[in-house]
Amino acid sequence: MNEILEMDASSQLALMARGDLSAEELMRATLARIEAVNGSVNAIVGLRDPDDLLAEACSVDRGQTLGALHGRPVAVKELSDVKGFVTSEGSTAFSDRIAKSDALHVARMRAAGAIFIGKTNTPEFGLGSHTFNPVYGATCNAYDDTVSCGGSSGGAAVALATRMLSLADGSDMMGSLRNPTGWNNVYGFRPSWGRVPAKSEGETFLHMLSTNGPMARCPADLALLLNVISGPDSHQPHSLPPQSFSVDTLDVRGKRIGWLGDWGGAWAMEDGILDICENALNVFEALGCEIESVKAPFAREALWESWTTLRNWSVSEGLRPLMENPKTRCQLKDTAIWEAERGAALSAADVHAASVIRSDWFRAAAALFDRYDALVAPTAQVWPFALDTPYPTQIAGQGMDTYHRWMEVTVPASLIGLPALAVPVGFGPQGLPMGMQLIGRHGDDQGMLTLAEVYHSETHWPQRNPPKR
């Protein structure tokens, strides 16, 4: 493999700034790598014509430096608009829809000098933590062709792990960014709600569940991309103030970390997941952090009721035009229809009750963060499962009552918009990766980046254990 592609994005950009690497050279190396491995993993979809990409890279070399992503090949998650590209969202209902403008975070990447080469694969409408759809097919795990890469930002995670990309955007509602990074031995950051605003259109006050965020092979590159895509938007009501992010190997002695484990036994877990995460926590303990086990801090079923109600409501509103049209309704997968029908049946009182629970959990979590600098939990409750399995139906003999209950571990951060940074923790007995979430108080994105950086400086999991491709 070209050694340029083994570098992190920050190192590549430093070479470009010195004139030791051109955008054309980086593009040629990227396209060669995609040609070599993408056919076996199916992570990047809708790839542009290579000659056009090389011509654009040469043009970048002749022009002025635009910003932090100057000349960087970037593929955007196939849920987000890139002007002139198809945005199918993995659905045959939209397989020929051409975006007329950029999503807000995409526009910010373009302004920073990114060259958009294509898209990264995702499940249909991003629903389900397993990347397959009827438009582009399935994306396999970077470490095993026979198992899932997770999702919904699965294509992005695999493209990073296999060195086709050094930076990627993802989005996260219910672990869509955290699960695939954990399953592919890379890093992913769901930032605080409002840190990376979405495009201002339609209703902007109520559906505060999903957010975009950066993915990379090291925390420094998470910070690099977060600095590009974050920042307030005056047209949106929940934007956080501007902030510059960095990574430093600081002294973290005395930092208090609460280990959520399996939520006091409430979350079913496959064997080995808690053990491998606890081993990773030993890294923090060796650095002087104080690790404590946390009893279940809130009623598990109350969180789940609140989450499923608000999620069903949000998904139902998003899918309403497709559900109301018989020609498109029949093109939706069963789980999308299930979510939409449940959401449509909700009353205003149901939504209000769910929001009250969410508010109660926010207050309870705030009290936890008076004691802890971060909370930690696994990124998934199962190891990567068979590629031809739509979703797990049981965990360690315990039946799952919904298609996404096995991702319940991501709900505490998602429900109240907390920053949650997924770090790799190693490999299980079958040689498959796992990750854990570093969860902080709302707004403490920098704190999670710092913890991730000191952890990375001791582990370097993505660099020490690349996939054998």
Give the type of residue at 190: R
- pLDDT tops 90 at residue 249: no
User: By the 8 A CB rule, do 247 and 449 touch?
Assistant: yes
pLDDT given at position 17: 92
- CA distances to 15, 59, 195 from 55, in Å: 20, 6, 34
Instruction: Supply the DSSP symbol for 465.
Output: S
Residue with structure tokens 């430096």?
65
pLDDT given at position 204: 87
Bridge partners (DSSP) listed for residue 98? 86
> Domains in the chain, start-ordered, CATH in brackets?
3-301+351-464 (3.90.1300.10)
Question: Once rounded to an integer, what is the mean pLDDT over residues 317-329?
Answer: 96
Q: Residue 211 and residue 362: Cα distance in Å, rounded? A: 18
pLDDT, one tens digit per residue, over 16-42 is 999 999 999 999 999 999 999 999 999
pLDDT, one tens digit per residue, over 440-451 is 999 999 999 999
pLDDT given at position 134: 97
User: By the 8 A CB rule, do 176 and 126 touch?
Assistant: yes
pLDDT given at position 65: 86
pLDDT, one tens digit per residue, over 110-152 is 999 999 999 999 999 999 999 999 999 999 999 999 999 999 9
Residue with structure tokens 């060669």?
32
User: What element of type H or E holds 147?
Assistant: strand 144-148
pLDDT given at position 250: 83
- pLDDT tops 80 at residue 301: yes
- pLDDT tops 90 at residue 402: yes
Q: Residue 47 and residue 68: Cα distance in Å, rounded? A: 23
User: What element of type H or E holds 302?
Assistant: helix 300-324
Mean pLDDT of the chain: 97
Q: What token pair was written down for 443? A: 């707004």
- CA distances to 78, 106, 153, 238 from 97, in Å: 12, 17, 20, 29
Q: Residue 359 and residue 306: Cα distance in Å, rounded? A: 10
Could you tell me what percent of the chain has a pLDDT over 90?
95
Q: Residue 32 and residue 436: Cα distance in Å, rounded? A: 32
pLDDT, one tens digit per residue, over 36-87 is 999 999 999 999 999 999 999 999 999 988 899 999 999 999 999 999 999 9
Closest CA to 215 of 238, 196, 237: 196
- pLDDT tops 90 at residue 466: yes
- Give the phi and the psi of residue 182 in degrees, each rounded to 5: -65, -40
pLDDT, one tens digit per residue, over 329-374 is 999 999 999 999 999 999 999 999 999 999 999 999 999 999 999 9
Q: Looking at 272-373, which runs of residues are DSSP E strands?
A: 290-293
pLDDT given at position 326: 95
pLDDT given at position 305: 98
Could you tell me what percent of the chain has a pLDDT over 70?
100
pLDDT given at position 408: 98
**pLDDT band with cut points at 50, 70 and 90 for residue 255:** very high
Question: 236 or 308, which is more confident?
Answer: 308
Peptide bond before residue 152 is cis, with ω within 30 degrees of 0: yes
pLDDT given at position 374: 98
User: By the 8 A CB rule, do 415 and 190 touch?
Assistant: no
pLDDT, one tens digit per residue, over 147-206 is 999 999 999 999 999 999 999 999 999 999 999 999 999 999 999 999 999 877 888 898
Question: 462 or 1, which is more confident?
Answer: 462
**pLDDT band with cut points at 50, 70 and 90 for residue 1:** low
